[in-house]
Amino acid sequence: MYFAQNIKLLRARKKASQEEASQALELPRSTYSGYENETAEPSLSTLIRIANYYNISLDKIVKTDLSKLADLQLKEMEDGYDIDLTGSKMRVLATTVSENNQENIELVPESAKAGYTAGFSDPDYIKVLPTFQLPFLSREKKYRSFPVSGDSMPPVIHGSFVTGEYIQNWLSIKSGFPYIIVTKSDGIVFKIVYNKLKDGNKLHLVSTNPFYEPYDIDIREVVEIWKFVNYISSELPKEDDKVDNLSATVYNLQNEIRQIKNVLKENKEN
> 113 and 201: one domain?
yes
Q: Is the peptide bond before 178 cis (omega within 30 degrees of 0)?
A: no
Tens digit of pLDDT for each residue in 114-127?
889 888 888 889 99
> 209 and 262: one domain?
no
d(C-alpha 62, C-alpha 66), whole Å: 10
Q: Are 120 and 94 in contact (CB under 8 A)?
A: yes
Note the pLDDT of residue 213. 92
Note the pLDDT of residue 124. 86
Check pLDDT > 70 for residue 1: yes
> 194 and 255: one domain?
no
Q: Is residue 87 situated within a structural domain? A: no
Q: Look up the CATH number of the domain holding residue 214.
A: 2.10.109.10
Note the pLDDT of residue 249. 59
Q: In terms of pLDDT, which residue wins out, 84 or 134?
A: 134
> 47 and 135: one domain?
no
Q: Are 163 and 229 in contact (CB under 8 A)?
A: yes
Check pLDDT > 70 for residue 242: no
> 226 and 134: one domain?
yes
Per-residue 3-state assignment (H helix, E strand, C coil) for the chain: CCHHHHHHHHHHHCCCCHHHHHHHCCCCHHHHHHHHCCCCCCCHHHHHHHHHHHCCCHHHHHHCCHHHCCHHHHHHHHCCCCCCCCCCCCCCCCCCECCCCCECEEECCHHHHCCHHHHCCCHHHHCCCCEECCCCCCCCCCEEEEECCCCCCCCCCCCCEEEEEECCCHHHCCCCEEEEEEECCCEEEEEEEEEEHHHHCEEEEECCCCCCCCEEEEHHHEEEEEEEEEEECCCCCCCCHHHHHHHHHHHHHHHHHHHHHHHHHHHHHC
Q: Look up the CATH number of the domain holding residue 73.
A: 1.10.260.40
What confidence tier does 243 reach under pLDDT thresholds 50, 70, 90?
very low
Q: What whole-number percentage of the chain has pLDDT above 70?
A: 90
Q: Are 219 and 201 in contact (CB under 8 A)?
A: yes
Q: Are 187 and 114 in contact (CB under 8 A)?
A: yes
Tens digit of pLDDT for each residue in 164-185?
999 999 999 999 999 999 998 8
Q: Is residue 72 situated within a structural domain? A: yes
Mean of the per-residue pLDDT values of the chain: 87
> 159 and 189: one domain?
yes
User: Is residue 58 exposed (0-12), middle (13-18) or buried (19+ Cβ within 10 Å)?
Assistant: buried
Q: In terms of pLDDT, which residue wins out, 162 or 262?
A: 162
What confidence tier does 250 reach under pLDDT thresholds 50, 70, 90?
low
Cα–Cα distances in Å, from 219 out to 27, 128, 130? 30, 29, 29
* Residue 255 structural domain: 241-270
d(C-alpha 218, C-alpha 209), whole Å: 22
Tens digit of pLDDT for each residue in 230-239?
999 988 776 6
Radius of gyration of the chain (CA): 26
> 164 and 223: one domain?
yes
Q: In terms of pLDDT, which residue wins out, 244 or 100?
A: 100
Q: Is residue 98 situated within a structural domain? A: no
> 42 and 119: one domain?
no
Q: Is residue 93 situated within a structural domain? A: no
> 133 and 54: one domain?
no
Q: Is residue 85 situated within a structural domain? A: no
Q: Is residue 83 situated within a structural domain? A: no
pTM for the model: 0.72
Q: Is residue 96 situated within a structural domain? A: no
What confidence tier does 253 reach under pLDDT thresholds 50, 70, 90?
low
Q: Is residue 95 situated within a structural domain? A: no
> 109 and 213: one domain?
yes
> 221 and 246: one domain?
no
Lowest mean pLDDT among 6-10, 11-15, 240-244: 240-244
Mean pLDDT over 212-228 rounds to 94
Note the pLDDT of residue 55. 86
Check pLDDT > 90 for residue 132: yes
Mean pLDDT over 75-96 rounds to 76
> 268 and 210: one domain?
no
Q: How many domains would you assign to the chain?
A: 3
Q: What whole-number percentage of the chain has pLDDT above 90?
A: 59
